[in-house]
């Protein structure tokens, strides 16, 4: 009789343990929490396509279109799990470079420019096939200032690279980071 009572108690403890385990595990089963250190949210998207950004600025700098397009492709590959495709993706970037210029910013005591501002602007159309509420068409513009004593051709490559990096960050954030 004592053995029967111990077995009943063990069975009750076992049932209670299984019940507690089910209660704890069930809410998490089937739930998928996606976290990215970049803050990028690509929920539901599997592929991304990035069309070549044509240079339609009044001043056309050779290589700028390719550099911008490649930088955006690299950013999406590095910071998301999306597969890059040359056909139509779930997320599509397309657009054009609309401005590429340098202008005097400040004037020195000798009435000559002391600082110049180098600007690049890009019009971007983003299409999210899964959630059309996230679609946008927007112009992004970034600049870097440089000393007017320097010839633009001497600093153009470095400034252009910095601006492209900032533009790509802005475009990526607008598309995938919903802070």
Angstrom distance (rounded) from CA 168 to CA 105: 24
- Stretch 39-62: mean pLDDT: 90
Q: Where is pLDDT greater, at 63 or 25? A: 63
pLDDT at 119: 97
Q: Are strands 91-107 and 113-128 parallel, antiparallel or unpaired?
A: antiparallel
Angstrom distance (rounded) from CA 146 to CA 152: 8
pLDDT at 2 over 70: no
pLDDT at 8: 72
Number of other CB atoms surrounding residue 122 within 10 Å: 27
pLDDT at 132 over 70: yes
pLDDT at 179 over 60: no
Q: Where is pLDDT greater, at 42 or 108? A: 42
Decide if 153 contacts 14 (C-beta within 8 A): no
Residue 144: strand pairing partners: 118
Angstrom distance (rounded) from CA 101 to CA 174: 24
pLDDT at 37: 46
What CA–CA distances, in Å, run from 118 to 23, 69, 100, 137, 143? 61, 20, 8, 24, 5
Q: Which helix (H) or strand (E) holds 121?
A: strand 113-128
Q: What are phi and psi of 153, to 5 degrees?
A: -60, -25
What CA–CA distances, in Å, run from 29 to 22, 25, 36? 10, 6, 20
Structure tokens at 162: 């910095």
For 51-73, b/e burial (b = at least 16 CB within 10 A) is eebebebeeeeeebbebbbbbbb
Decide if 90 contacts 48 (C-beta within 8 A): yes
| Residue 112 pLDDT grade (very low, low, confident, very high; cuts 50, 70, 90) | confident
């Amino acid at each position: 009789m004592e053995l029967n009572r111990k077995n009943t108690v063990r069975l009750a403890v076992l049932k209670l343990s299984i019940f507690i385990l089910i209660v704890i595990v069930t809410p998490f089963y089937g739930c998928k929490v996606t976290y990215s250190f970049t803050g990028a949210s690509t929920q539901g998207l599997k592929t991304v396509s990035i069309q070549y950004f044509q240079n339609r600025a009044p001043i056309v700098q050779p290589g700028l279109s390719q550099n911008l397009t490649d930088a955006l492709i690299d950013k999406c590959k590095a910071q998301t799990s999306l597969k890059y495709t040359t056909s139509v993706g779930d997320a599509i970037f397309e657009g054009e470079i609309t401005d590429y210029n340098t202008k005097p910013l400040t004037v020195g005591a000798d009435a000559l420019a002391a600082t110049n501002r180098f600007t690049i602007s890009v019009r971007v159309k983003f299409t999210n096939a899964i959630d059309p509420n996230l679609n946008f068409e927007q112009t992004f513009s970034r600049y870097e200032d440089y000393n007017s004593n320097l010839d633009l051709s001497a600093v153009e490559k470095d400034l252009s690279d910095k601006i492209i990096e900032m533009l790509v960050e802005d475009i990526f954030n607008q598309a995938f980071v919903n802070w």
